[in-house]
Amino acid sequence: MDKYKRIVFFTGAGISVESGIPTYRGTGGVWKDYNYQDFACQEAFLRNPEKVWDFHDQRRALIKSCKPNQAHKIIAKIQHQQPKTHIITQNIDGLHQRAGASRVIELHGSIWRLRSPENGLIVEDFETPLKERKCGKNAWWRPDIIWFGDSLNQETINTALTALEKCDLLISIGTSAVVYPAAQMPEIAINNGADTIEINPETTPISHLFQRCLRDSASQALSSLFPEFAGD
């Protein structure tokens, strides 16, 4: 740990599997059972906002019932010891923050935030189910997440790129490396000379770029790498 001053944890859906949250594309993933065109795109929201909110209320209830796992806790402890550690996540579940982490860059937004399409107002709301789905007479709150077909927030991208350019250790955890532009982001740290580790039970399209690959669960791999942070 003394060697590294600017660590970046780059996390995907796989880190939250141990908490009981299914991945989107892996075995048992959400999109195996649901068509995103009916539940996770702006067109679906415009067609039937009630249906889309019913789906997201189910997701919010599931996520709220889950707790941060050992991997989330280890990352939060490391960040507390190394203040320049950043977390870049594709997840919308907020489990990093619930584990005590800060400086979490949420590439795909958060299911616990709402955005008004009328004025861009963003608010946090942890009620499950959401009590008020409308933010105006004819306007609906929209989950502040990146749906299929949406563009990532440019300010969020810039913050993530800066962290990746400066990091000296990149640990990628539980990401499928098939969702762009997020899938390309680890290459920035790699090209800037950072040491690199991939943690994923399965090989990904960019596994060959990492110096070390651990085919294990997030909690087991991080406990092995950082045993001093593994206790409760």
d(CA 131, CA 107): 26
Q: Tokens 């999109």 sit at which residue?
A: 31
The amino acid present at 78, given as its one-letter code, is: I
Sheet holding 104-106, edge to edge: 104-106, 86-89, 7-11, 169-173, 195-199, 212-214
d(CA 209, CA 98): 31
Beta strand segments in 1-103, E: 7-11, 86-89
In the residue annotation, 108 being an active-site residue is answered as yes
56, 86, 108, 208: the active-site residue: 108
Q: Tokens 């050992």 sit at which residue?
A: 70
Catalytic residues: 108
